[in-house]
Structure 1
């Protein structure tokens, strides 16, 4: 992507609150449910699994040794690693319940450990978790198996164990390499430690490595962020995620510990974004969309060209159509036309599993309109265009009539060069790839009819 086509005025204009569209409808639309609805859900899962499906498994490990003040994840702060054994007891309970509902020939194509800090678990606990998964589900050497790693809380033995249980991808939380910024956000992580863990991963042939960066943090300047980008490029990552810091202390109270007076101005923050796009695309990376970059020879880049790029709760992926089962507190699942989310409270998560029921607290059954709009929005997030004729043929609609409001909403975006609309398709321009969330918002029935609050992060 050529960053010269962007400017601060355009970015500020579209830097509004909006969903990240890891799902549609988005999580605020999920409804709280009781045990009767969960029993019905189990029946639906069992019915769907009268035939085999490809499946994706997500495991939420909520524990962290210390609190990063910027973090917006569901987490439990503790130094007691014995809590990991108790948590694994319940994870195995949950896996047993789900396994009984699945077709025995269903194949696992993707596994992801998220958190929290999955490497909070000791090596023997990770071994136990890996064994529990492989014993219950059909995995093989081709299963895509990724983990989120805090380099400061990771040993060589962790990496050896991850390799032994089949892990072949890793995402390292870096955020920023500047010591003053790290102190301001309460996350001390020397660059040397990040390099050490990266080297260990490659020595164990876990070669697909992603780094997470954040711009807009206290004490960051354009100069310090440029140094962070240079630092991570020395480690030769395969992918990069460059996130905008979302300051939402009303939802994440720990963010009140940050000094807002030390945060960069809007212009400074957005200048970091422009610099990131220019710097990474000038150094062999392709801008995938929103905040993701991939090496030009890496599969995410190839997926854009062959229209196989997908999006789910773990971000961008090349694996299409798998049923997603989430395990652990707060984990979200998506199977067929249903989303559901586990309890975000650990005691409640444990209590429900102790009653031999799934720990589901929120659920959404998608209607046909949800499914049509989900298809449109996911095509926008993952492809270079949205074909009107393909949507009409698949869903039996007249595109111009069905999406009349959306087309009207797109007029200004087309005027600003983010999309190009012709008789047959809506084309996302190279400049528009930064504003995918804004384009998708135009098709979001809930936002455009005022049926949800806009308590989301900024779109840029």
Structure 2
């Protein structure tokens, strides 16, 4: 039986297709509050394990043009001068954050996201990496994952060479779709040659891994048109491919109002496209990692999946999510000890905080013992597809069946539908449930309600 046949059950996908979190954190950002006391963050930073690794996320919000589908925190501008004051403030923020931590702790993961990080000039990127190395212990290339999001429309082969020189060893390329009609509808015209140039340069400069992002559910997409995009990607053979379902939420993201809703594919067409994705990627030898991620058999994500060490953080599936995460820049989120903390989203508030000598933390949450328990449960389901009740009891000092009696009752119909295998000792996500793992995990989310569900995308 093919991978598509075991994963893709249209009857179940239609029945369970509801709004739900992606669980890049638990509690999700919906539960962050502006009543959060930043003092908790300071204490958690100073009480951390001195031997544990650190992860840095740097948010650079600027884009040359805006993509209509995008829900990220970004600022569209062609004025590159905006980068200078923002860079200066990020450098001061790096110094303030470093003062809270034992900076002998190794940085084993670094990610620049956006926006478009390469909006910065080459000299500005050198300056930012130098400031990072000045304040934190960046470990050697062979022990670290240093990644950056790249827009191939404005990244030359020279840019890719510079990024490798700075220490980056992984690239993430946004493609979304190669069909010209779709590209015009989402205001992102990107020729295949542009992407191939970046991929070729990354290989020539010795990048460990290149990932490509696609989106299904965009205006004017069809099974045939998206198949052509998949064929092109398979020809390029990136190490990782993510194929996200477009979440049309114009009430939350104003730029999406530029998209013609009548041109969006129907739910049936979306499902058919998704089925084709699974077929084509499996035919090409990619391993299904989970949700919307595929990787080549020798990729670190695949090895982590097989070893049971796959993790999940704000960038998605990862091999380093057990690190404390420090967020730098407007809107960035940190996870330190038992707290999540998010910086102010708008530049003016962010700037005012940094200029006053304070971190720009604007909201967050301190996790309770129950939050920590449920985070452990949800992440085991999301990353390993299994839950050993005895392990949870030992780790958290609870009786699983007593503590989660309501949740186990709600899981029973999923077991009846063949999504999971549920015994007295263990929950195992079956092949038919792997694409619906968000639905399984959400059973353990005590915050979900009708009001909060509307803040999340559809699970398919």
1:452 matched to 2:452: yes
Residues in 1 aligned to 2:359 and 2:46: alpha-carbon distance in whole angstroms: 13
> Secondary structure, in 3 states, of the residue corresponding to 1:241?
strand
2:149 equivalent in structure 1: 148
1:190 equivalent in structure 2: 191
Residues in 1 aligned to 2:127 and 2:432: alpha-carbon distance in whole angstroms: 46
The number of equivalent residue pairs is: 456
1:26 matched to 2:25: no
- Return the offset for 1:63: 0.3
1:199 equivalent in structure 2: 200
1:137 equivalent in structure 2: 136
> Secondary structure, in 3 states, of the residue corresponding to 1:102?
coil
2:352 equivalent in structure 1: 351
Which 5+ residue runs of structure 1 have no aligned equivalent? none
- Return the offset for 1:102: 0.9
Q: Is the 8 A contact 2:64 2:78 kept in 1?
A: yes
- Return the offset for 1:33: 3.3
- Return the offset for 1:360: 0.5
Residues in 1 aligned to 2:442 and 2:43: alpha-carbon distance in whole angstroms: 34
- Return the offset for 1:298: 1.6
1:45 equivalent in structure 2: 45
Q: Is the 8 A contact 1:288 1:433 kept in 2?
A: no
Higher deviation after alignment, 165-174 or 420-429: 420-429
1:161 equivalent in structure 2: 162
1:57 matched to 2:56: yes
Residues in 2 aligned to 1:104 and 1:146: alpha-carbon distance in whole angstroms: 21
1:301 matched to 2:295: no
- Return the offset for 1:417: 1.1
Deviations 1:191-210 (A, max 9, x none): 01110111111111113010
Deviations 1:27-63 (A, max 9, x none): 01011037xx2245324422336x3431000000100
Deviations 1:149-206 (A, max 9, x none): 1110212222121111100000100000111110111000000111011111111111
> Secondary structure, in 3 states, of the residue corresponding to 2:11?
helix
Higher deviation after alignment, 135-144 or 255-264: 135-144
Residues in 1 aligned to 2:425 and 2:164: alpha-carbon distance in whole angstroms: 47
Residues in 1 aligned to 2:275 and 2:20: alpha-carbon distance in whole angstroms: 20
Q: Is the 8 A contact 2:40 2:366 kept in 1?
A: no
Q: Is the 8 A contact 1:308 1:320 kept in 2?
A: no
2:270 equivalent in structure 1: 269
Matches of residues 19-418 of structure 1 in structure 2 within 5 Å?
19-33=21-35, 37-48=37-48, 51-141=50-140, 142-418=143-419
Q: Is the 8 A contact 2:214 2:242 kept in 1?
A: yes
Residues in 2 aligned to 1:383 and 1:446: alpha-carbon distance in whole angstroms: 23
Q: Is the 8 A contact 1:352 1:358 kept in 2?
A: yes
Residues in 2 aligned to 1:130 and 1:316: alpha-carbon distance in whole angstroms: 24
Q: 1:183 to 1:374 in 2, by over 3 A?
A: same
Q: Is the 8 A contact 2:56 2:111 kept in 1?
A: yes
- Return the offset for 1:453: 4.4
Alignment RMSD (CA, Å): 1.4
Q: Is the 8 A contact 2:51 2:105 kept in 1?
A: yes
Q: 1:320 to 1:26 in 2, by over 3 A?
A: closer
> Secondary structure, in 3 states, of the residue corresponding to 2:289?
strand
Residues in 2 aligned to 1:334 and 1:403: alpha-carbon distance in whole angstroms: 26
Q: 1:207 to 1:47 in 2, by over 3 A?
A: closer
Deviations 1:328-365 (A, max 9, x none): 00000001110010000100000001111110010100
Q: Is the 8 A contact 1:342 1:360 kept in 2?
A: yes
- Return the offset for 1:456: 0.6
- Return the offset for 1:320: 4.5
Q: Is the 8 A contact 2:157 2:197 kept in 1?
A: no
- Return the offset for 1:454: 3.1
> Secondary structure, in 3 states, of the residue corresponding to 2:251?
coil
Which 5+ residue runs of structure 2 have no aligned equivalent? none
Q: Is the 8 A contact 1:122 1:158 kept in 2?
A: no
Match of 2:19 among 17, 20, 38: 17
Residues in 2 aligned to 1:53 and 1:239: alpha-carbon distance in whole angstroms: 27
Give the TM-score normalised by the residue count of structure 1: 0.97
Q: 1:446 to 1:40 in 2, by over 3 A?
A: closer
- Return the offset for 1:85: 1.5
Residues in 2 aligned to 1:304 and 1:430: alpha-carbon distance in whole angstroms: 15
Matches of residues 436-447 of structure 1 in structure 2 within 5 Å?
436-447=437-448
> Secondary structure, in 3 states, of the residue corresponding to 1:24?
coil
After TM superposition, the runs of 4+ consecutive aligned structure 1 residues lying more than 6 A away are none
- Return the offset for 1:7: 3.0
Q: Is the 8 A contact 1:342 1:361 kept in 2?
A: yes
> Secondary structure, in 3 states, of the residue corresponding to 2:325?
strand
